[in-house]
Amino acid sequence: MEIVNLTLYELRQKIRDGELSVCEVLEALGERIAATDSTVGAYLDYNIERALSEARNVDLSLPLGGLPIAIKDNINVKGELCTCASKILTGYRAPYDATAIARLKSAGAIPFGRLNMDEFAMGSSTENSAYQLTRNPWDPSRIPGGSSGGSAASVAARSAFAALGSDTGGSIRQPAAHCGCVGLKPSYGRVSRYGLVAFASSLDQIGPLARSVRDCALLLSVIAGHDPADSTSLDAPVPDYTANLREDLRGIRLGIPKEYFSEGIDSHVRSCIETALQHCKELGAEIVEISLPHTPYAISTYYIIAPAEASANLARFDGVRYGYRTANPADISELYFNTRAEGFGSEVKRRIILGTYVLSSGYYDAYYLRAQKVRTLIRRDFEQAFQSVDAIVCPTSPEPAFPIGERTSDPLKMYLSDIFTISANLAGICAISVPCGFAQINGKKLPVGLQFLCNFLEEQKLLSIANAYEVTTPWSRQSPPI
Amino acid sequence: MKKKEEYVATIGLEVHVQLKTRTKMFCGCAVEFGAEPNTNVCPVCLGLPGSLPVMNEEALRLTALAGLMFGCEIGPVCKFDRKNYFYPDMPKNYQISQYDMPFCLGGEVPLHTLAYPKDAQKAIANPGKKVRLVRIHLEEDVAKSFHLENASGIDFNRAGTPLLEIVSRPDIETPEEAFAYLTVLQQVMVYGGVSDADMEKGQMRCDVNVSVRRVGDEGLGTKVELKNLNSISGVRRALAYEIRRQIEVLCGGGRLEQETRRWDDAQGETVLMRTKESAHDYRYFPDPDLMPVKTERFVAEARGRMPELPWAKRERFVKQYGVSEYDAGVLADDLALAAYFERAAAGSKKPKAVANWLLNDVLSALSSAGKGIGDCPVSPEGLLELVDTIESGVISGRQGKEVFAEMFATGKRASQIIEEKGLKQLSDVGALEVLCEQVIRDNPGPVADYRAGKAAAINFLKGQVMKLSKGKANPSVVSEILEKKLAG
């Protein structure tokens, strides 16, 4: 078996057993990136040479000893560029490690490359990067999803074993679904946000993308946990998420939200999901219909709260202290106006304007305050649902990856494709996307993702259920044709 | 033409006070005045991408303490909000502040007589006045901009320093009341260890709103905001000028504009900075990076640190030490002076005498040496020893002054100086009787005068004894002996 096809877990075993050296692994990875990335465009940059030199000192007995991990470009890695795929952070180097990165490093992992994304994580297709397009490894004419498109595409293309992404409204799960890998969004507060460049502070979470549920569990065990530098991180014990991952679903009750299956789901996706549900039943699960009555309001709620927070979070990018600065401003207002006009892309500007609007006096109560109230109702929907089911199951995205350029002029249509992922962020619960088959379109196989959602801090149960599905189906071990 | 007397002023103050914490409000950087620019900075207080704020609990305790000292209401929960506006001294272009759920609500600041300017203490319009507060909230300070010839620089050392904003109701009506209000605020901050509140160091800053209206008018007049007020007396001067200016404009039939004026202390006038600013929309919203604060624990901890407040200390000094109300006021006005007094007075049988020495001799020596009580060369114990030595008759009051001057100059103890100079008073009755007998013998004239009822003649005899003893005789012992002998 080719090295690059191994899962992170298998790779670790082979390194520990002495079957593979970290150097061999890194060289194979470097070759794979060189062979695929001119097509895929997942990496903004990577450095195998330096990874090799770091590998010499690494302690292989550590939980992630010698394992290379690729990082989304909105997570600070000390000394590396950190641009959020935005022109406004051109040349900005991170002066410190994000807590998640510090934890990866002390577990022996080697962050070696920066992955493309939608600018400031705003988007569902990675088309909003200021630097390059990332293509879906299963069909390079299509988007990889977003905003963690580089993360999903690299893992799928076998040009990364695993990656970190961030998920504000589906930005890990949706690209994982489109690229055929596993993507986990932990509960809000499970992983420290310190060092993740904020998009929407009350929704953002860092999480892993990998080729198996077990790999995601392995990474989560390392990056999760309380961080005194993040007041919103939770002081709850971190179990070994790789222990006791089950392979059946006996005694598990899965809920299907009736609101999610009403309309607008692509027929290929629908048939994959139906087959997957049948499979879950065969594994012993009981499947019941549930209701999440406030689902229709989720997208509007999200598109008020997230831009509101973003409008403040992105105010610091002003050309005064770091990053891009406009040439020869006449005065301070011109410095602000021109730097931001030239430095931000149109989707980022759209959301800053939206956020500024909904927070303005006279509109605050009608938009922001009301959205917060609806958010509470959405959270209660889930609390209610989890009283009778262990997990909720649904598609990750209503459709497979769409062609590049198809939605760029229709932001609303782009927003609507986040329908199944957004609620988990609003409710703060954990969710995972696992591959569940393919849609055959124009002779191309396009991956479809199945999403499981569990209650707040129930990552262990979530991973266990997803693992049972994943290891008893063939989908996660399919390689794209590239 | 209206008369000046028909107008009354309405003054509201917004005071910012830097808290006396070791570290900043949301990060671990040191709070330090006068450090090299941009040395006390980190990703958090520079607002670098990905950084997050973490609350300084000491700042929360000090805020609770400030609230308790002014009798504010403190709700069970307060929260932090983002105040959005662009300015180069704001690293994030939003300030973490408190909007609709501040830490403290209400409260009041009592204006006592000694807090007024010295020249105004005799004619206080509203003795015992209390100025009501709207609120006290906690926020982060911004950085400091410097304008050089061809460029501007920003020092982020100050950015993120914990800052209290204390907003008064428009209860203040005269520049003297504003002076007293600020003096009390400053005093209480120092008393509680909440802030050093030094205006020169920018640890206490204030913005003033002032308007005038005709007596009897219902609504308030047009409000003018004053900036660049760098001392409490400057606030008084600026207000006096501005109130006069506004009244003159109105008396002359003119109209006032809502504007911001800058106080020029050297010229002694306020100068127009800008008119009618378009109302700023700060787009406050709860900071999602910080959880709401449950205040109970901080209030409980602050309660344990409640100091005796200046007004309570004043009363106690009168009762406990028998000092006059005025002296008690002067002593209690300055926490360091009060502490010095208590250390000296605690061991003394005559605390009143200690107070006299402290308020007269010690303070005048300090002021001519340009020193504060904190670096007084005479310790409280040293002063106590001196006063006791005088009170028990070992040396005279006049000698005491000499000894004190020496103590102040050299730092030596009183006993050592008395020893070295041979100043000890002669109080030995036996030895003094010999001298007195000699003087009675040598001066039959005055003795006869005294016996004939001319009581003042005894002073001459006393003087002769002093002369014979080379000034060392204890005058009160000498009087006693002479009186006894002349009566016999």
What residue ranges do the domains of chain A occupy? 3-254+386-477
Locate CATH 1.10.10.410 in chain B.
429-487
Beta strands B224-227 and B259-264, pairing class:
parallel
B296 interfacial to chain A (CB closer than 8 Å) = no
What digits encode the pLDDT tens for the residues B181-224? 999 999 999 999 999 999 989 999 999 999 999 988 888 899 99
Decide: helix, strand or coil at residue B102. Answer: coil
Give me the residue label for tokens 């100079």: B421
What digits encode the pLDDT tens for the residues A416-464? 889 999 999 999 999 999 999 999 999 999 999 999 999 999 999 999 9
Peptide bond preceding A346: is omega within 30 degrees of 0, i.e. cis? Answer: no
From first to last of its 482 residues, chain A has per-residue pLDDT tens of 599 999 999 999 999 999 999 999 999 999 999 999 999 999 999 999 999 999 999 999 999 999 999 999 999 999 999 999 999 999 999 999 999 999 999 999 999 999 999 999 999 999 999 999 999 999 999 999 999 999 999 999 999 999 999 999 999 999 999 999 999 999 999 999 999 999 999 999 999 999 999 999 999 999 999 999 999 999 999 999 999 899 999 999 999 999 988 778 999 999 999 999 999 999 999 999 999 999 999 999 999 999 999 999 999 999 999 999 999 999 999 999 999 999 999 999 999 999 999 999 999 999 999 999 999 999 999 999 999 999 999 999 999 999 999 988 888 888 888 999 999 999 999 999 999 999 999 999 999 999 999 999 999 999 999 999 999 999 999 999 98
Q: Distance (Å, rounded) from C-alpha A162 to C-alpha A173?
A: 14
- List CB contacts (< 8 A) between B41 and chain A: none
Decide: helix, strand or coil at residue A290. Answer: strand
* Helices assigned H by DSSP within B83-219: 175-191
| Phi-psi group of B455: left, alpha or beta (phi > 0 → left; psi -120 to 50 → alpha; rest → beta) | alpha
CA-to-CA dists, residue B25 to A98, B21, B44, angstroms: 21, 8, 10
B289 interfacial to chain A (CB closer than 8 Å) = yes
Decide: helix, strand or coil at residue B107. Answer: coil
Q: What is the pLDDT of residue B421?
A: 76
Do A461 and A251 touch, CB atoms closer than 8 A?
A: no
Structure tokens that stand for A453 in this block: 């959602």
Decide: helix, strand or coil at residue B371. Answer: coil
Q: How far is CA B80 from the centre of its chain?
A: 31
B94 interfacial to chain A (CB closer than 8 Å) = yes
How many CB atoms within 10 Å of residue B225?
18
Which DSSP state fits B473? B
Compute chain A's Rg from CA coordinates: 21
Question: Which DSSP string do the residues of B395-433 spell out, in sequence order?
Answer: S-HHHHHHHHHHHHHH---HHHHHHHHT---B--HHHHH
Q: Is A262 part of the annotated catalytic residue set? A: no
Do A74 and A119 touch, CB atoms closer than 8 A?
A: no
Q: What is the pLDDT of residue B4?
A: 62
Do A401 and A136 touch, CB atoms closer than 8 A?
A: yes
pTM of structure: 0.90
A437-448 CB burial, b ≥16 within 10 A, e <16: bbbebeebbbbb
Which DSSP state fits B216? T
Minimal Cβ distance to A318: which of B55, B93, B288: B93
Give me the residue label for tokens 């087959």: A275
Do A76 and B50 touch, CB atoms closer than 8 A?
A: yes
How many CB atoms within 10 Å of residue A296?
11
Q: Distance (Å, rounded) from C-alpha A159 to C-alpha A70?
A: 9
Question: Which DSSP string do the residues of A45-90 spell out, in sequence order?
Answer: EE-HHHHHHHHTT--TTSTTTT-EEEEETTB--TTSB--TT-GGGT
Compute chain B's Rg from CA coordinates: 31
- List CB contacts (< 8 A) between B293 and chain A: none
Q: What is the pLDDT of residue B173?
A: 95
Do B82 and B285 touch, CB atoms closer than 8 A?
A: yes
Give which of B435, B433, B439, B474 is closest to B458, Cα–Cα.
B439
Do B486 and B451 touch, CB atoms closer than 8 A?
A: yes
Geometric angle at alpha carbon A4, from A2 and A7, rounded to 5°: 105
Q: Is A445 part of the annotated catalytic residue set? A: no
Beta bridge partners of B17: B164, B204
Q: Distance (Å, rounded) from C-alpha B138 to C-alpha A365?
A: 24
Of A86, A129, A171, A221, catalytic? A171
CA contacts within 13 A on the Cβ side of B241? 19
Q: CA A430, A436, A441, A443: dihedral to nearest 10 degrees?
A: 140
Give which of A277, A306, A251, A233 is closest to B53, Cα–Cα.
A233
Query: Taking CB atoms and an 8 Å limit, are A315 and B84 in contact across chains?
Result: yes
Shortest alpha-carbon distance between residue B88 and chain A (Å):
7
Beta strands A68-72 and A162-167, pairing class:
parallel
- List CB contacts (< 8 A) between A359 and chain B: 84, 283-285
Decide: helix, strand or coil at residue A367. Answer: helix
Q: What is the pLDDT of residue B469?
A: 80
Give which of B50, B51, B3 is closest to B24, Cα–Cα.
B51
Query: Taking CB atoms and an 8 Å limit, are B288 and A92 in contact across chains?
Result: no
Q: Distance (Å, rounded) from C-alpha B189 to C-alpha B67?
A: 11
- SS3 string of B271-306? EEEEECCCCCCCCCEECCCCCCEECHHHHHHHHCCC
Beta strands A253-257 and A391-395, pairing class:
parallel
B291 interfacial to chain A (CB closer than 8 Å) = yes
List strands edge to edge, sheet with B94-97: B94-97, B81-84, B285-286
- List CB contacts (< 8 A) between A195 and chain B: 50-51
Shortest alpha-carbon distance between residue B20 and chain A (Å):
22
Q: Distance (Å, rounded) from C-alpha A113 to C-alpha A80?
A: 9
- CA torsion through residues A145, A151, A157, A161, sign: negative
Do B437 and B461 touch, CB atoms closer than 8 A?
A: no
Q: How far is CA A257 from the centre of its chain?
A: 23
One-letter amino acid at A181 equals: C
One-letter amino acid at B58 equals: E
CA-to-CA dists, residue A64 to A47, A69, A79, A480, angstroms: 19, 10, 21, 26
Q: Top-level CATH class of A3-254+386-477?
A: alpha beta
Do A116 and A142 touch, CB atoms closer than 8 A?
A: no
Q: What is the pLDDT of residue B458?
A: 87
Structure tokens that stand for A189 in this block: 């507060």
Where does residue B427 rank: exposed (0-12), middle (13-18), buried (19+ CB within 10 A)? Answer: middle
Q: Distance (Å, rounded) from C-alpha B426 to C-alpha B414?
A: 17
Do A400 and A448 touch, CB atoms closer than 8 A?
A: yes
Q: Distance (Å, rounded) from C-alpha B176 to C-alpha B122?
A: 12
- List CB contacts (< 8 A) between B289 and chain A: 198, 201, 231-232
Q: Among B42, B51, B79, pick the best mutation site for testing chain A contact (most A Cβ within 10 A).
A: B51
Where does residue B32 rank: exposed (0-12), middle (13-18), buried (19+ CB within 10 A)? Answer: middle
Q: Distance (Å, rounded) from C-alpha B149 to C-alpha B141?
A: 26
Minimal Cβ distance to A229: which of B47, B52, B284: B52
Structure tokens that stand for B107 in this block: 């409260």
From first to last of its 488 residues, chain B has per-residue pLDDT tens of 456 678 999 999 999 999 999 999 999 999 998 899 999 999 999 999 999 999 999 999 999 999 999 999 999 999 999 999 999 999 999 999 999 999 999 999 999 998 999 999 999 999 999 999 999 999 999 999 998 888 889 999 999 999 999 999 999 999 999 999 999 999 999 999 999 999 989 999 999 999 999 988 888 899 999 999 999 999 999 999 999 999 999 998 899 989 999 999 999 999 999 886 667 899 999 999 999 999 999 999 999 999 999 989 999 999 999 999 889 999 998 889 999 999 999 888 889 999 999 999 999 999 999 998 988 999 999 999 899 888 877 777 888 888 898 899 998 888 888 877 777 777 777 888 888 888 888 988 888 888 888 888 888 888 888 888 877 788 888 888 888 888 86
Q: Distance (Å, rounded) from C-alpha A411 to C-alpha A420?
A: 17
> Which CATH topology does B429-487 take?
Arc Repressor Mutant, subunit A (1.10.10)
Where does residue A55 rank: exposed (0-12), middle (13-18), buried (19+ CB within 10 A)? Answer: buried
Q: Distance (Å, rounded) from C-alpha A88 to C-alpha A338?
A: 11
